[in-house]
């Protein structure tokens, strides 16, 4: 049985997607309203206006901009979810529902902001853009990390196929009287690394999907996100090691 280079490299093709640069946990800058949005990026001008002279007009403009900024981000997340090759059906559905619920909530909040006539009440509503939804600190990492965890599952399936092919080749070589000790050791190492990587990733989606803005506000969600990211970085390293073991096993059978 011929073991092609391409079939083995397929495992790394998945593992290479686990860089998680976009899943970095974000730290918010100083907010315009205490505890609220920071006024970063496209909302910097509106933030400066609200800070220079807080009025219903300037604060409303700032709030509307921050809602719109989040809506754009949520739209991008929707595209990422629907276009993912790795998310399971249930995880994609759960993430889509979370994004949709967040968009609905922000739409309702924007209506309140646009109709508000009290400056103090408006400040409280603008604050809620961040505290009630946590788009950047929670929802974005949730999508990225769940996608990463499911990518590990996809990688495991690829490696399982490679393992079956390599095991068959080892059996054939051994039956022909050849020494397959080194090849078997490499295959065992590959399988062990893949199993460990899958064990790190498998529990993460359920844990991550259960997180809420209230848990972020209470200080309990942040450590969970940080731990999940560390687990996936470790899983990525294990998959790279597994790929090297697979190549070594193949080469030992030449």
Cα–Cα distance for residue pair 129/111, rounded to 1 Å: 12
Q: Where do runs of H (alpha helix) occur along the chain?
A: 5-15, 44-52, 56-83, 89-115, 119-131, 140-175, 181-201, 204-209, 213-218, 221-252
SS3 assignment, position 20: coil
Q: How confident is the model at residue 39 (pLDDT cuts 50, 70, 90)?
A: confident
Q: Is residue 55 part of a domain?
A: yes
Q: Is residue 6 part of a domain?
A: no
Residue 31 pLDDT: 73
Range of the domain at 108: 11-252
Q: Is the pLDDT of residue 24 over 50?
A: no
In a domain? residue 2: no
User: 83-94, pLDDT tens digit by residue?
Assistant: 999 999 999 999
More confident residue, 31 or 1: 31
Q: What are the structure tokens assigned to 238, written together?
A: 């294990």
Residue 127 is assigned to a structural domain of this protein: yes
How does pLDDT run across 64-83, given as a tens digit for each residue?
999 999 999 999 999 999 99
The tally of domains found in the chain comes to 1
> In the chain, what's the furthest Cα-to-Cα distance?
87
Within-domain flag for 38: yes
Across the chain, mean pLDDT equals 90
Q: Mark residue 35 as left, alpha or beta (left: phi above 0; alpha: psi -120 to 50; beta: remaining).
A: left
pLDDT at 204 over 90: yes
State residue 18's pLDDT score: 53
Residue 59: alpha-carbon gap to chain centroid: 32
Tokens 């400066």, residue located = 48
Distance CA 232, CA 145 (A): 8
Stretch (H or E) spanning 37: none
Does residue 40 lie in a domain region?
yes
Percentage of the chain modeled with pLDDT above 90:
82
* Rounded mean pLDDT, 205-225: 97
Q: How far is CA 223 from the centre of its chain?
A: 15
Residue 4 maps to a domain: no
Residue 212 lies in a domain: yes
Spatial contact of 84 and 99, defined as CB atoms under 8 Å apart: no
Residue where the block lists tokens 């889509």: 96
């Amino acid at each position: 049985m011929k073991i092609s280079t391409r079939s083995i490299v397929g495992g790394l093709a998945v593992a290479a997607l686990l860089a998680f640069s976009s899943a970095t946990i974000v730290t918010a800058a100083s907010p315009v309203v205490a505890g609220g949005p920071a006024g970063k990026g496209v909302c910097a001008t509106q933030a400066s206006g609200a800070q220079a002279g807080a009025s219903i007009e300037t604060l409303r403009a700032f709030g509307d901009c921050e809602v719109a900024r989040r809506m754009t981000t949520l739209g991008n997340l929707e595209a990422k979810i629907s276009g993912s090759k790795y998310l399971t059906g249930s995880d994609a559905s759960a993430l889509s529902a979370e994004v949709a619920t967040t968009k609905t909530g922000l739409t309702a909040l924007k209506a309140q902001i646009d109709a508000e006539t009290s400056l103090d009440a408006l400040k409280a509503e603008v604050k809620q853009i961040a505290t009630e939804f946590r788009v950047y600190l929670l929802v974005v990492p949730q999508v990225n990390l769940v996608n990463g965890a499911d990518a590990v599952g996809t990688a495991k399936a690829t490696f399982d196929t490679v393992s079956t092919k390599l095991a068959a080749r080892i059996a054939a070589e051994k039956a022909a009287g050849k020494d397959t000790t080194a090849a078997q050791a490499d295959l065992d190492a590959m399988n062990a690394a893949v199993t460990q990587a899958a064990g790190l990733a498998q529990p993460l989606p359920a844990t991550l999907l259960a997180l809420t803005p209230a848990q972020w506000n209470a200080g309990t969600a942040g450590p969970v996100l940080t731990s999940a990211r560390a687990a996936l970085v470790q899983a990525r390293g294990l998959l790279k090691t597994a790929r090297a073991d697979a190549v070594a096993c193949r080469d030992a059978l030449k």
